Amino acid sequence: MPVQPSIYPSGAWIHGKTSLHCSNQIILTRYVWIIADWVDVSMVYLQRLLALLVGCVGGFSNTVDSSNVCDVQDALDKGIAEIASMPPLVFAGECRTLQDRLAAAARGEAFIVQGGDCAESFDQFNANRIRDLYRLILQMSLVVMYGGGVPVVKIGRLAGQFAKPRSADLEKKGDVELPSYRGDIINGPEFTSDARVPDPQRLVKAYHQSASTLNLVRGFSTGGYAALDRVADWNLDFMSNSDEGEAYLDLAKRVKEALVFVKACGAQELSALFNETEFFVSHECLLLDYESALTRVDSTTGLYYGCSGHFLWCGERTRQLDNAHVEYLKGIGNPIGVKVSDKMDPSELVALIAALNPENTPGRLAVIVRMGAAKLRENFPRLIQAVQEAGQVVTWVCDPMHGNTESCNGYKTRRYDNVKAEVEAFFDVHQEMGSIPGGVHLEMTGDDVTECIGGGSSVSETDLDSRYHTHCDPRLNAEQALEMSFYVASRLRERRKHD
Ligand code: PEP
Ligand code: CO
């Protein structure tokens, strides 16, 4: 059970808003709403924000209009107040259940499959896309469960994965430079100055989209759609004509036979186990105004929970110990994650883990490693060793996407082989270190997109422009993701043999 750090007085997360005074009030007011609550928490973050704003002035000065400033601040306050008055999206008890599952994954008694869009979007929002991602995660889980012999913890990057951190504050096309797209919850992806202006009403829209996404997902999970024998019956369009498709159909047949067997043994009493599933949602904890508005006190424990999603993670760009995002995550009871690249050094990681999980509670903290295969082989053992020596319990998760982004024919892409190589390295290093691979974290979609190159689906470099739909990073398509699940299952099976 997480212990609320005593440094946070009651109500601090929700009512702790302070105004920012700065000589360049116009510019700041225009942008500061992205992180308004937190500038007082972290001077380092404030300095970074100021650098960002100064960087924006050139491209934006002619659209900054002082008569507008009060309207924008007003609109932000109204948007936040509206969300703060809405029901929470998730309940603390669900978050605690997830924490138990993540603790099992840390012990090697479960495996996490976490996946979804890099960035959810407003204009691609519809029931079919949610269903297809949900279905794919369940199919991958079936493969991992059957092949790997462990329960799978299913987590969508879904129902809140809207805000994007960006390495570059500005985007340049030809001679035109505009502020970067920061996710549909902040501004629009179109390359126009209008679209790139932050609009507080987007926060409210993101909340409502998340609520209806979750509603459908909960319906799928308990309403019969996720029943095991149905999952085994599901077909994806590509299945009849690909190796992965055939392998899946073959595995599904064996699962169905096993189900007939256990039911014949009298397992009907366990019908909830066969007819329902647990499914959790997660997103990067980036937009602290949004997170603050959905931070609520759990009446059972008296602890604060981030009620925007079951699992929130801190990104690679915001995970500094003195950063506002880390401060926020310290104070909520949810299971949380932190992304770690090769830039992390062992002592920094140990200090960060101690700050985020001072009670060393199993399942509270997942460390999501994203380095690329070669750097992972070089750096990951040192990190594991330091954590082992410190006696810290974490759930190790592999994100093989964010260390493998490259550009090809003008598209941001990833090569399936590189993605797989990182998963392979992740399992190899754990095997060498005697530590536990707890899960994978993938950017993927149930749609038949052509955003990542290779894999059985054989998307080539020249195919990229045929169905490239992502608003941010390239995702594995359904076939590539399923292929990955077979590889993961094979590694878990191998691990089981060693035990
Ligand atoms: C992401 O998960 O989309 C992301 C931006 O990851 P990272 O913080 O690891 O770069
Ligand atoms: Co991404």
Residue 185 φ then ψ, to 5°:
-75, -15
pLDDT of residue 241: 67
Higher-pLDDT residue of 336 and 274 is: 336
**Does residue 233 have a pLDDT over 80?**
no
135 lines ligand 1 (CB under 6 A): no
296 Cβ below 6 A of ligand 1: no
| pLDDT tens digits for range 355-392 | 999 999 999 999 999 999 999 999 999 999 999 999 99
Degrees, nearest 5: CA angle 325-327-331? 115
Query: Which residues, at least 6 apart from 385, have a Cβ–Cβ distance to it below 8 Å?
Result: 346, 433
**What's the rounded Cα separation, in Å, for the pair 154 and 147?**
16
End position of a domain, from candidates 55, 86, 117: 86
Mean pLDDT of the chain: 83
- Residue 456, pLDDT > 60, answer yes
Ligand 1 atom closest to Cα of residue 370 = 9
Ligand 1 site, residue 402, Cβ cutoff 6 A: yes
**pLDDT per position as a tens digit, 254-284:** 888 888 888 888 776 667 778 889 999 999 9
Nearest CA to ligand 1 atom 10: 316
Best mutation site among 157, 399, 422, 444 for ligand 1, i.e. most ligand atoms within 8 A of its Cβ? Answer: 399
Which pLDDT score is estimated for 155?
98
Indicate the DSSP class of residue 310. Answer: S
- Please indicate whether residue 287 or residue 491 has the higher confidence score (pLDDT): 491
Q: Is residue 44 part of a domain?
A: yes
Look at residue 178 and tell me if it is in a domain.
Answer: no
The pick from 155, 184, 316 for probing ligand 1's pocket by mutation, whose C-beta has the most ligand atoms within 8 angstroms, reads 316
Residues 444 and 117: their CA atoms lie apart, in Å, by 6
- 337 and 415 share one domain: yes
pLDDT at 19 over 50: no
In angstroms, the first-to-last Cα distance of the chain is 30
Stretch among 299-308, 341-350, 463-472 having the lowest mean pLDDT: 299-308
What spacing in Å lies between the alpha carbon of 97 and ligand 1's midpoint? 25
Count up the domains in the chain and report the number: 2
If you take atom 6 of ligand 1, which residue's CA is the nearest one? Answer: 315
29, 106: one domain: no
Distance 420 CA to ligand 1 centre (A): 18
Ligand 1 atom closest to the CA of 317, numbered from 1: 8
Whether 77 and 143 share a structural domain? no
Q: How far apart are CA 248 and CA 244, in angstroms?
A: 6
What angle, 0 to 180 degrees and rounded to 10, lies between the N-to-C axes of helices 478-498 and 416-433?
20
Gap from CA of 266 to ligand 2 centroid (Å): 45
pLDDT at 270: 66
- Looking at residue 236, what is its pLDDT? 62
Write the residue with the smallest CA distance to atom 1 of ligand 1: 118
Residue 403, domain member (yes or no): yes
pLDDT at 28 > cutoff 50 = no
Together in a domain, 404 and 314: yes
**Local confidence band at 9 (pLDDT 50, 70, 90 cut-offs):** very low
Q: Which alpha helices (DSSP H) does 127-242 contain, by range?
A: 127-148, 201-222, 228-233
* 7 is a domain residue: no
Pocket flag, ligand 1, residue 118 (CB < 6 Å):
yes
Task: Over range 324-346, report the average pLDDT.
Answer: 92
* Token pair of 73 as six digits: 């601040």
Q: What is the position in ligand 1's atom list of the atom closest to the CA of 339? A: 9
The Å distance, Cα 384 to ligand 2 centre, comes to 24
Q: Which residues have C-beta within 8 Å of that of residue 139, sequence separation ≥ 6?
A: 231, 234, 236, 248, 482, 485
- The whole-number pLDDT of residue 269 equals 63
User: In terms of domains, do 60 and 124 share one?
Assistant: no
How far apart, in whole angstroms, are the C-alpha atoms of residue 472 and residue 166?
A: 10
Do 69 and 120 share a structural domain? no
CATH number of the CATH domain containing 215:
3.20.20.70
Query: How many angstroms separate the alpha carbon of residue 472 from the centre of ligand 2?
Result: 7
Ligand 1 within 6 A of 315 CB? Answer: yes
Please give the residue range of the domain that contains residue 133: 92-165+194-226+276-498
- Match 């509206």 to its residue by tokens: 82
Measuring from atom 3 of ligand 1, which residue has the nearest CA? 118
Reported confidence tier of residue 63, pLDDT bands at 50, 70, 90: very low
Domain boundary among 86, 116, 133: 86
Confirm or reject: Cβ of 165 under 6 Å from ligand 1. Answer: yes
**pLDDT of res. 445:** 97
How far, in Å, is the centroid of ligand 2 from the Cα of 50?
A: 24
The label of the residue with tokens 């602890």 reads 303
Nearest Cα residue to atom 4 of ligand 1: 315
Listed ranges 31-45, 113-127, 181-195; the one with the highest mean pLDDT: 113-127
How far, in Å, is the centroid of ligand 2 from the Cα of 415? 15
Same domain, 407 and 484: yes
Specify the pLDDT at position 86.
Answer: 95
- Scanning 223-297, the segments in alpha helix (DSSP H) are 228-233, 243-264, 271-275, 288-293
Atom nearest to 119 CA in ligand 1: 3
**For ligand 1, is residue 370 a contact (CB within 6 Å)?**
yes
Q: Does residue 153 share a domain with residue 66? A: no
| Residue 257 located in a structural domain | no
Which of 66, 86, 106 corresponds to the end of one domain?
A: 86
Asked whether residue 45 falls in the same domain as residue 158, the answer is: no
Residue 89 has pLDDT above 80, yes or no: yes
Contact 403, 375 (CB under 8 A): yes
Q: Is 184 near ligand 1, meaning CB less than 6 Å away?
A: no
Q: Are residues 30 and 149 in the same domain?
A: no
Residue nearest to atom 8 of ligand 1 (CA): 315
Which string of DSSP letters, residue by residue, matches 36-87?
GGGTTT-HHHHHHHHHHHHHHHHHHGGG--HHHHHHHHHHHHHHHHHHHTSP
Residue 205 lies in a domain: yes
Please tell me whether residues 74 and 206 are part of one structural domain.
no
**Domain for residue 350, yes or no?**
yes
| 491 lies in some domain | yes
pLDDT at 231 over 90: no
Residue of 182, 185, 284 best suited for mutating to test ligand 1, as the one with most atoms within 8 Å of CB? 284
Q: Is residue 20 located within the same domain as residue 145?
A: no
Given the structure tokens 């479960």, which residue do they identify? 110
